[in-house]
Structure 1
Amino acid sequence: MVLVVVVVVAVLLAALLGLGAFAMRRRLIQRVGGTFDCSARLRVAALPGVPGLPVPDAGPDAPLPSGSAPAPSGSAVDNGGKGWLFGIARYNRDSVEWFRVFSYSPRPRRVLQRSRIEVLHRRTPVGQEELALLSGAVVLVCRHAGEPLELAMSEDALTGFLAWLEAAPPGQRVNVA
């Protein structure tokens, strides 16, 4: 009986330490400043004939947010909102470092260089994506170094992200839709 109590206490202590490590890691990432919640879909299917452009989740008649460019026509494949990873993004000079929320790694999972980010269009989450993303998120369809990428963030974070992209030093190209 004593062994069972010791094992239960050890398991609970390990779980608390694990949760504490998540909280401490997030605090350390945010300590530097310039962070925002940002989900990412790193593996995005591409439309035939349009290299690097992700397949839209909505049909051609789906409404787009104001200022959005429509996605090229083609057969859309609904992936059911799968592939999204919750994360925290942090501005670091001329790059954005993206960290997974549920990870113990102190290093960013992806580093997005400002000069290599190309914003293709923005859209609202549709279907199962609405459940997979934080409430009020806007999906930004991008290309980074030729690879398709989708980022989902709040309207406020999107405004800051686009302003950061446009504030590139003189001589750098800016690719904002």
Structure 2
Amino acid sequence: MRILEASGICVVALFALLFAIFFRRRLLMVGGGTIRVQVRINTMVLGRGWSPGLGQFLGDELRFHRMFSLAIRPKRVLDRRALTVEERRPPAGPERLTMPGHWVVLRCRTPEGEVEIAMAETTVTGFLSWLEAGPPRDPGSLRGRTVFGPRPMES
């Protein structure tokens, strides 16, 4: 009888944990301005270290919340005033196994260093618009933002 009680408690605890994770996700999405995104947390192994989550736009910040976490605070906060997109590329190698094929990887520069963000192609347009809509920068403070477009052909 004790085994049955213990297994019942474990099942209830598991359901409570799953409910808490999905309830937290729903709370993050209530205010709008959220996107599905993956951020590369670890760069030790090439193509690995991606963490799925939600990106939440709040003012001049993009807050990254991990998908399967109970934390209220974001894992990473990116300030658009100091964020520069340096490269846009499709997923390559092992990355193709961890994210959908229509996603794009953006390599960004922040004052703390480089960060890679992956999101759907359709979301990239909105992300770049949000980035460009930021307040004007002090001319001597940071480099200008990279503008994407067709690269000129080298001869």
Moved over 2 A (4+): 42-45, 169-174
Deviation at 1:44, TM superposition (A): 4.0
Deviation at 1:127, TM superposition (A): 1.2
Structure 1: which amino acid aligns with 2:60? D
What is the percentage of aligned positions where both structures have the same residue?
36
Deviation at 1:135, TM superposition (A): 3.9
The CA distance in 2 between the partners of 1:34 and 1:9, in whole Å, is 39
Report the counterpart of residue 22 of structure 2 in structure 1.
23
Report the counterpart of residue 139 of structure 1 in structure 2.
105
Label 1:98 to 1:168 Cα distance change in 2 as closer, same or farther (>3 A). same
Q: Is the 1:44–1:150 contact (alpha carbons within 8 Å) kept by the matching residues of 2?
A: no
Alignment of 1:175 with 2:145, yes or no, is yes
Q: Is the 1:84–1:133 contact (alpha carbons within 8 Å) kept by the matching residues of 2?
A: no
Deviation at 1:171, TM superposition (A): 4.1
Q: Is the 1:99–1:109 contact (alpha carbons within 8 Å) kept by the matching residues of 2?
A: yes
Structure 2: which amino acid aligns with 1:101? M
Deviation at 1:43, TM superposition (A): 3.9
| Structure 1 portions without partners, runs of 5+ | 46-77
Alignment of 1:111 with 2:77, yes or no, is yes
The CA distance in 2 between the partners of 1:118 and 1:106, in whole Å, is 27
CA deviation map 1:25-62 (0-9, x unaligned): 001111111000110013447xxxxxxxxxxxxxxxxx
The CA distance in 2 between the partners of 1:132 and 1:118, in whole Å, is 25
Report the counterpart of residue 9 of structure 1 in structure 2.
8
Q: Aligned-pair RMSD on alpha carbons?
A: 1.7
Query: What secondary structure sits across from 1:82 in the alignment?
Result: coil
| Greater share of residues in strand | 2
TM-score using structure 1 length: 0.75
Q: How many residues align?
A: 143
Label 1:170 to 1:103 Cα distance change in 2 as closer, same or farther (>3 A). same
Label 1:163 to 1:110 Cα distance change in 2 as closer, same or farther (>3 A). same
Report the counterpart of residue 32 of structure 1 in structure 2.
31
Report the counterpart of residue 69 of structure 1 in structure 2.
none
TM-score using structure 2 length: 0.85
Q: Whose relative contact order is higher, 1 or 2, with alpha carbons under 8 Å and at least 6 apart? A: 1
The CA distance in 2 between the partners of 1:104 and 1:136, in whole Å, is 29
